[in-house]
Structure 1
């Protein structure tokens, strides 16, 4: 007996495997989550991450932090699923398992419906803080339960169409991707708030400029340098901290958080003079 010819969805997925090498796909995924986390992190300080000038490798290097928690959760969920599946396989032919399949499908349909209602209610619920996590979680969990309940019942009847199976897995994959992106955004925001609570731990910077900057952030000390022959820098600023170093500029913040603080962008083009202070900790 010959196997049926693959459908359009299967042919599309096979073509995607050929066109996108696994390493390229992995790099793209790591870059995306690193970018989402970095964007949320520096947005807290009023900085658009695109103005920093970070490269692809730098975003990839930032991806493990936001991905660590989702990976641990998915690994634990996978281990639990394997244990449950092992028990179910031993009793797959019994009447109780058929009933379990129907119950799983019913719960899955209800969960999936709730997720879809949230999805289509974005205009009214989009500002809910947990929206980006709860909605894909309900869709992924509901689809998984529907597919698994169907898989249990299929043991006693002809298998379903492969296209429906592939679409189910696609919905789960997209939902997991959405959840992970939300966690990455939260991770970046949390890292920013942690930085803001410990600004004194960032590198201390002394900044000399040719003219007054008229900074409005409280706590920054401005000193007028004494005039001397050949002196081009006339103002000195202390109590600044290095938030991040971009391609050709530095982003400086005050050493103590205030609601009226601002991030100072300093170009490294000779118009300023920068000194990094030692830590006040005698060796």
Structure 2
């Protein structure tokens, strides 16, 4: 039995589906089981990150656990609490979802959020693997609303290039690390195969959709107000602005072969992700 925390999130959901397709017994956690939908056969349990008493029951009888603590400004201790619950329950193996450049001071606030969790995993005494994925290709689903309104999509990272990663690849690497001890002690930085600017991503999506996509550049100084006007919280705006600056100034221009090393095939590129999710941009 494998436990997936954060099972309704981008990676957690893909991971549950992948493991179920491979015939693996899965226990999925969510704060609201009554309103969550998972594949048949998945055991669903309640875990509320604000209520650590829910951690121990979820870990009971588990062989391996995927830790997706979703840390933010006020939640950097969640992963450590999950690790302790796993250790006490006799869980053998944990896989921690982190972010690219965790601990890099140039990334600012969001770069620090995952450091306590990574430290807790490494010192747990359990078999462990840390995954540091790059920006998800699926983040461009935020373009759906302006596209449907006939508006340009926003570019908040200037000419900064990054190798966005397909969430399905991250999930498949997580599945491999959860199922065997072959990846113990490894920290994998997971990227796509190609460095692209936001404009180049938009061009790739335009080719898939068979229609032009206009892009409007949001200056770095104007980005915080742009996000605030969209109703985003001050804490999110602060973290997102620092992440965008990290990309904008060329600090995320990194391509690794970690996905290929684990999965034995190249990572999917953004165009493949866009083609596979074309209907998300065309359905009304």
TM-score (norm 2): 0.19
Instruction: Flag the structure with higher helix content.
Output: 1
TM-score (norm 1): 0.19
